[in-house]
């Protein structure tokens, strides 16, 4: 029989992770320009519908199906989440598991959705909505699902088993992949009109705070739920998910104040996100003090990527998905190789600080390299194919100038008051 406590815990965590996608819509919506806020929010929120279908049809099976013989992808034996109904009818585990496998299907769907939603932040204000839908659908099957298997597919998986890299809750699978994909699409799309000549200021800072707060709340399910049990490791992951972003918030405030002379609410919220990203691969592997160190270390590096690297290289990652998620995910993944407590490791290797052995750090680096190469190549292929299929991914100059809310969706977030509406 199932363990009722663990089953309830995993269902609650699933709902928390699910909340993160609409939370991200608010976060991105607040950062966007007024004329594009509907487009920005619907790109993030509609991912739930797109990935909801692709995950059930084939995503789950490609990520977690099969017999473990392939290091790159699962199998086709669980298309349409086959097995879910029989498990519910029998009310007995299909495998020796403390909670129903159906819960894991839902939990991992929520992960796939938030990963794809992060990508949309890089595309704000210039990508055809129909192209966004097509890209997310294909990418979730061709890139996310195989990567999830490579990292979390168990015995025989390329990154998690053969390389031996650790990723507690998604540093590689969620954050590095989504931010890098966003950057590649941003480069394929080209810069927004006026980029580098005008300031794109957030149009609604309270939305940013609302989104960041809900993201932080949902992240407790994201990280603690990745222990897959209501135990002390889950509790450690939850505490670290409080500590790392709190430390990153303070570090961001110090760096921003030193650089600009001011502390902004958008900056505070961004600092929180960088700390959340950094602790994701390490949440159940590191001590609490190490989580604080990771937050303090990651925030300035992400700040530098956004404030200095982006202007220097000239890429238009509109809402800084790359600077927050890929850069933060890489830093967090590498620091996992330094601070991982040996007794908590999923492999036989502990962090450099504890063992003096760089083996885990090397594995972490190699896992990140494989992730970057796979995601970059696969995303470029998908991007170029869809660019040809849609005769370009970008809206025309007139649509971009007028705003995508009116031209792509026929509505405004803030319609003029005329006495009738």
User: Does the pLDDT at position 42 exceed 60?
Assistant: yes
- Tens of pLDDT, residue by residue over 343-385, are 999 998 999 999 999 999 999 999 999 999 999 999 999 999 9
pLDDT of residue 194: 83
pLDDT of residue 217: 98
In the chain, domain spans: 4-394
pLDDT of residue 417: 45
Query: How far apart, in whole angstroms, are the C-alpha atoms of residue 389 and residue 393?
Result: 9
User: Does the pLDDT at position 197 exceed 80?
Assistant: no
User: Does the pLDDT at position 90 exceed 90?
Assistant: no
- Tens of pLDDT, residue by residue over 138-194, are 999 999 999 999 999 999 999 999 999 999 999 999 999 999 999 999 999 999 988
Query: How far apart, in whole angstroms, are the C-alpha atoms of residue 199 and residue 192?
Result: 12
User: Does the pLDDT at position 418 exceed 60?
Assistant: no
CATH classification for the domain delimited by 4-394, as one of 3.30.450.20, 3.30.460.80, 1.10.3430.10, 3.40.50.720: 1.10.3430.10
The tokens for 28 are 């991105």
Mean pLDDT in residue range 291-305 = 98
Residues 388, 393, 399, 405, Cα dihedral to 10°? 140
pTM of the model: 0.97
DSSP 19-58: HHHHHHHHHHHHHS-GGGHHHHHHHHHTHHHHHHHHIIII
pLDDT of residue 267: 98
Query: How far apart, in whole angstroms, are the C-alpha atoms of residue 400 and residue 266?
Result: 25
Q: What percent of the chain is modeled with pLDDT above 90?
A: 90
pLDDT of residue 93: 67
Mean pLDDT in residue range 23-40 = 97
pLDDT of residue 348: 86
Cα distances from 1 to residues 11, 28, 104, 225, in angstroms, run 17, 43, 16, 20
Closest by CA position to 189, among listed 410, 404, 405: 404
Helix (H/G/I), strand (E/B), else coil: 134: helix
pLDDT of residue 87: 82
For 195, phi and psi rounded to 5 degrees? -60, 130
Kindly report which listed range (84-88, 162-166, 222-226, 235-239) carries the lowest average pLDDT score.
84-88
């Amino acid at each position: 029989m199932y363990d009722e406590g663990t089953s309830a815990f995993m269902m609650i965590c699933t709902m928390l992770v699910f909340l993160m996608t609409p939370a991200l819509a608010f976060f991105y919506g607040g950062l966007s320009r007024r004329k594009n806020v509907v487009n920005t929010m619907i790109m993030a929120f509609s991912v739930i519908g797109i990935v909801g279908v692709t995950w059930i049809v084939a995503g789950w099976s490609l990520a977690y199906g099969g017999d473990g013989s392939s290091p790159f992808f699962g199998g086709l034996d669980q298309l349409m989440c086959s097995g879910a109904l029989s498990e519910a009818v029998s009310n007995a585990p299909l495998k020796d598991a403390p909670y129903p496998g159906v819960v894991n299907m839902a939990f991992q769907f929520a992960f796939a959705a938030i990963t794809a939603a992060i990508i949309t932040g890089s595309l704000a204000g210039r990508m055809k909505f129909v192209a966004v839908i097509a890209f997310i659908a294909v990418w979730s099957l061709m890139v996310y699902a195989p990567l999830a298997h490579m990292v979390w597919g168990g015995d025989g998986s390329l990154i998690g088993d053969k390389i031996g890299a650790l990723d507690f809750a998604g540093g590689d699978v969620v954050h590095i992949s989504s931010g890098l994909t966003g950057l590649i699409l941003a480069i394929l799309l080209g810069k927004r009109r006026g980029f580098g000549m005008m300031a794109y200021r957030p149009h609604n800072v309270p939305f940013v705070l609302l989104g960041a707060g809900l993201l932080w709340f949902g992240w407790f399910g994201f990280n603690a739920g990745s222990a897959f049990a209501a135990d002390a490791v889950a509790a450690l992951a939850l505490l670290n998910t409080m500590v790392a972003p709190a430390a990153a918030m303070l570090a961001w405030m110090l760096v921003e104040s030193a650089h600009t002379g001011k502390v902004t609410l958008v900056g505070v919220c961004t600092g929180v996100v960088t700390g959340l990203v950094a602790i994701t691969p390490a949440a159940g592997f590191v001590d609490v003090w190490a989580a604080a160190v990771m937050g303090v270390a990651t925030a300035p590096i992400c700040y530098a990527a956004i404030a200095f690297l982006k202007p220097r290289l000239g890429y238009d990652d509109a809402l800084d998905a790359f600077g927050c998620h890929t850069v933060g995910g890489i830093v967090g993944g590498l620091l996992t190789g330094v601070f991982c407590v040996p007794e908590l490791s999923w492999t036989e290797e502990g962090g450099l600080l504890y063992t003096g052995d760089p083996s885990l750090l090397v594995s972490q680096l190699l896992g990140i390299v494989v992730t970057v190469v796979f995601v970059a190549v696969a995303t470029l292929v998908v991007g170029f194919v869809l660019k040809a299929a849609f005769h370009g991914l970008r809206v025309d100059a007139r649509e971009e100038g007028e705003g995508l809310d009116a031209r792509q969706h026929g509505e405004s977030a803030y319609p003029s008051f005329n006495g009738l509406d």
